[in-house]
């Protein structure tokens, strides 16, 4: 099977989930050559070793949705498209990759449970975007998209985000998320109770 090849960008302690967007500022000169609509690969790294041993790792096929460069820095908006597997690295700047097959069970019993827990957490957090987030949740029927959306917005710890990103089974991702959401809900409820006493 012939593999595709694209520019590879390492994103330090960040994870770009499919169907989601990340924004960051960078002084790396490599970003200056990008323009809106360009496709690239993003590989989340935590240490230099992650970059050295990137072969067979999961990355994100991404599109540049917006980029503005001024002086020595660039503001970059990237939109995740899909998970891919890095097959071969060329000089740390480009990589050959293969698409990752992800099953998307249409009848997963816990999808409603996952939505309800997320809605409960949103109510507890009570931010300006709460209504918008709850509205968006009701329109996502793909378990892959739902787990990525929830992970992007509500999983804060980098190690947890990375673990969920690297998990290719959507049902396992959903179970991991339910555990994380339960912990977050418990924590917010305890904070509220302390505030009331």
- What mean pLDDT is predicted for residues 166-171? 93
Domain extent for 71: 4-99
Using the 3D structure, point to which of 41, 74, 99 is the last residue of a domain.
99
Distances (CA, A) of 76 to 2, 24, 41: 30, 6, 14
Domain count, the chain: 2
| Confidence check: pLDDT of 1 > 60 | no
Is the residue at 158 inside a domain? Answer: yes
pLDDT in tens, 59-112: 999 999 999 999 999 999 999 999 999 999 999 899 999 999 887 776 677 788
Give the confidence band of 137 by pLDDT, cuts at 50, 70, 90.
confident
Q: Would you say residue 106 lies in a domain?
A: no
Pairwise CA distance, residues 89 & 6, whole Å: 10
**Considering 59, 77, 99, which residue would you say is the last residue of a domain?**
99
Clarify whether residues 90 and 11 are in a common domain. yes
- Structure tokens that stand for 79 in this block: 């939109």
Mean pLDDT score of the chain: 91
The whole model's pTM is what?
0.89
Shared-domain flag, residues 62 and 115: no
Per residue in 17-60, pLDDT (tens digit) is 999 999 999 999 999 999 999 999 999 999 888 888 888 999 99
Pairing of strands 39-45, 21-26: unpaired
CA quadruple 158, 159, 160, 161: dihedral positive or negative? positive
Residue 105 lies in a domain: no
Distances (CA, A) of 66 to 37, 76, 81, 99: 8, 6, 15, 24
Domain boundary among 46, 70, 99: 99
């Amino acid at each position: 099977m012939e593999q595709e090849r694209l520019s590879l960008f390492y994103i330090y302690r960040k994870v770009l989930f499919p169907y989601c967007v990340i924004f960051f500022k960078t002084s790396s000169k490599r970003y200056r050559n990008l323009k809106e609509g360009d496709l690239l690969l993003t590989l989340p790294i935590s240490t230099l070793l992650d970059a050295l041993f990137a072969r067979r790792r999961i990355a994100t096929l991404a599109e540049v949705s917006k980029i503005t460069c001024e002086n020595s820095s660039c503001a970059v908006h990237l939109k995740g498209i899909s998970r891919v597997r890095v097959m071969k690295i060329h000089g740390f700047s480009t990589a050959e990759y293969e698409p990752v097959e992800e099953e998307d069970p249409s009848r997963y019993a816990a999808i409603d449970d996952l939505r309800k827990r997320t809605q409960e957490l949103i109510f507890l957090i009570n931010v300006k975007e709460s209504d918008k987030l709850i509205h968006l949740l009701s329109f996502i029927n793909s378990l892959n998209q739902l787990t990525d959306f929830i992970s992007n917005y509500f999983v804060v710890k980098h190690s947890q985000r990375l673990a969920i990103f690297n998990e290719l089974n959507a049902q396992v991702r959903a179970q991991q998320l339910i555990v994380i959401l339960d912990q977050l809900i418990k924590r917010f409820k305890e904070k509220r109770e302390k505030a009331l006493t």
